[in-house]
């Protein structure tokens, strides 16, 4: 009996040593490769490309993975996506890590020395191109993880899939793209199907902090378009036609009641926003129609359906009060980004470790992410990484999608540790079950 107790004790000590070994290896690797990760982030930031046009970005990523002697590097998935396969030295399951690649049609105003100078045509207008949502940081962090894990591949108990995804901000025009298309093209099929997928997004929170929550973390996002149709006439004689501008104003005002007065928002938050409104070409002509576009954000599937119905009903009724007609178009977008509750609970300690106990459960975020498709296919965990400037830095900083959006490079090693730690912890746990 005593010999068995000694053996069990030795086994327990051995497992702790192994765990401490890979943690120390990850910490050392994150520190060793930090300058390279920062340089990669600056390169991506200075060379942004729009959705489904990430050609140079993809070439850069594939080259980095091949230089690390990855077992497989596949390009051209969902147009420009890249998938790298790193097989560990020990048998085990597959875990996936994901970063998005695309930039936004935003003219950068940060004044950074590596600020984007790229311009392009977007919907017929010349505009700047900027990594205004932090995808440059996501790619650099994941390539940092690739460096760290490639350096300890002999100790990896399984396979790590690195997903670099295009078109997270949505494919242009009638094109397909993003995580949904990558799945349709088979990245999770057969023996490549992971048991879990992890990802992160940078936000202007305290640098190096981590924010997450089980279940619904980020909202579903649906496209809203409303065309208010009237009868064109002279601006001096509105009674001889039907004014869609005034009717559109009624629609805008009435839609504000859908969430605030028609939904039980104690159940889950929701947002209905109209972001554009256009109609007419002269001040003395009442136009034939007005077109508005917007977004609907929800965190509850049943509420999502009810809000769609009530937006249609409210818009049509509001326009009718002015004698106009409203055509309402709602296209389903990204579903709710759901963090698997069991996986989140099991991995919470890793987030604490990576952030030095600065990880916290937060309220849901009304932004949307097409990581949601990956987390629908397999259990997923998506978290936010704080990247705000240092407290004494008085620069102008905006939220994601702002021309002033800023990423503090000091947060990058926390992201590298978190993703590498999640992969190693999940593989080690899965192998022990």
Q: What are the sequence ranges of the domains in the chain?
A: 2-218+336-432, 220-331
Q: Any idea what DSSP says for residue 127?
A: E
Positions in the chain short of pLDDT 70? 1-20, 433
- Catalytic residue status for 168: yes
CA distance 422 to 382: 11
Question: What was the pLDDT predicted at 431?
Answer: 75
- Catalytic residue status for 302: no
CA distance 345 to 417: 18
Question: What was the pLDDT predicted at 1?
Answer: 44
Structure-token match 């996936």, residue found:
96
Let me know the angle formed at the C-alpha of 412 by 407 and 413, rounded to the nearest 5 degrees: 160
Catalytic one among 27, 49, 102, 222?
A: 102
**What are the two backbone dihedrals, phi and then psi, of residue 105, each rounded to the nearest 5 degrees?**
-80, 75
Distance from the Cα of residue 362 to its chain's centroid:
17
Domain 220-331, architecture per CATH: 2-Layer Sandwich (3.30)
**What is the three-class DSSP state of 326?**
strand
Question: What was the pLDDT predicted at 433?
Answer: 67
2-218+336-432 in CATH: which number?
3.40.630.10
CA distance 141 to 337: 21
Strands (E), 359-429: 359-361, 380-386
CA distance 358 to 207: 10
* Short-list 381, 388, 383, CA closest to 411: 388
Q: Please, what is the angle between helix 2-32 and helix 412-432, to 10°? A: 150
- Answer for the pair 314, 258: CB distance below 8 angstroms, yes or no: yes
Catalytic one among 100, 168, 222, 340?
A: 168
CA distance 118 to 129: 5
pLDDT in tens, 52-79: 999 999 999 999 999 999 999 999 999 9
Q: Cβ–Cβ contacts within 10 Å for residue 154, how many? A: 8
pTM above 0.85, yes or no: yes
CA distance 403 to 410: 21
- Answer for the pair 125, 187: CB distance below 8 angstroms, yes or no: no
Rounded to a whole number of angstroms, the distance between the first and last alpha carbons of the chain is 25
Q: Any idea what DSSP says for residue 152?
A: T
pLDDT in tens, 283-340: 999 999 999 999 999 999 899 999 999 999 999 999 999 999 999 999 999 999 999 9
């Amino acid at each position: 009996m005593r010999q068995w107790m000694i053996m069990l004790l030795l086994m327990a000590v051995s497992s702790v040593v192994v765990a401490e070994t890979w943690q120390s290896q990850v910490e050392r690797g994150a520190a060793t490769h930090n300058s390279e990760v920062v340089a990669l982030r600056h390169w991506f930031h200075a060379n942004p490309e729009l959705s489904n046009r990430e050609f140079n970005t993809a070439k850069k990523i594939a080259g980095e993975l091949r230089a690390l002697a990855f077992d497989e590097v596949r390009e051209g998935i969902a147009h420009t996506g890249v998938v790298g396969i790193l097989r560990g030295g020990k048998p085990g399951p597959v875990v996936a890590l994901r970063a998005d690649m695309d930039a936004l049609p935003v003219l950068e105003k940060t004044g950074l020395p590596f600020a984007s100078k790229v311009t392009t045509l977007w919907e017929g207008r010349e505009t700047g191109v900027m990594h205004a949502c932090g995808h440059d940081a996501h790619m650099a962090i994941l390539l940092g993880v690739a460096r760290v894990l490639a350096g300890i591949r002999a100790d990896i108990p399984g396979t790590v899939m690195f997903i670099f995804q295009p078109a997270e901000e949505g494919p242009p025009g009638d094109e397909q793209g993003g995580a949904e298309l990558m799945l349709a093209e088979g990245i999770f099929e057969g023996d490549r199907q992971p048991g879990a997928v992890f990802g992160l997004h940078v936000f202007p929170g305290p640098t190096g902090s981590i924010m997450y929550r089980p279940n619904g973390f980020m909202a579903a996002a649906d496209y809203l378009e409303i065309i208010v149709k009237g009868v064109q006439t002279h601006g001096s004689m509105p009674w001889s036609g039907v004014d869609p501008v005034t009717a559109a104003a009624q629609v805008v005002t009435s839609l504000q009641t859908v969430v605030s007065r028609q939904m039980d928002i104690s159940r889950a938050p929701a947002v209905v926003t109209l972001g554009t409104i256009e109609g007419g070409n002269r001040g003395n002509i009442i136009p034939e129609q007005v077109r508005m576009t917007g977004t609907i954000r929800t965190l509850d599937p049943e509420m999502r359906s009810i809000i769609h119905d009530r937006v249609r009903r409210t818009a049509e009724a509001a326009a009718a009060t002015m004698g106009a007609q409203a055509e309402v178009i709602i296209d389903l977008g990204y579903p709710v980004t759901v963090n698997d509750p069991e996986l989140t609970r099991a991995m919470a300690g890793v987030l604490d470790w990576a952030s030095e106990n600065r990880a916290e459960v937060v309220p849901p975020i009304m932004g949307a992410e097409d990581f949601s498709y990956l987390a629908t296919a397999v259990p997923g965990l998506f978290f936010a990484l704080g990247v705000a400037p240092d407290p004494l830095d008085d620069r102008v900083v905006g939220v994601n999608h702002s021309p002033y959006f800023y990423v503090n490079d000091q947060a990058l090693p926390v992201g590298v540790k978190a993703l590498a730690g999640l992969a190693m912890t999940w593989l080690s746990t899965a192998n022990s079950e």
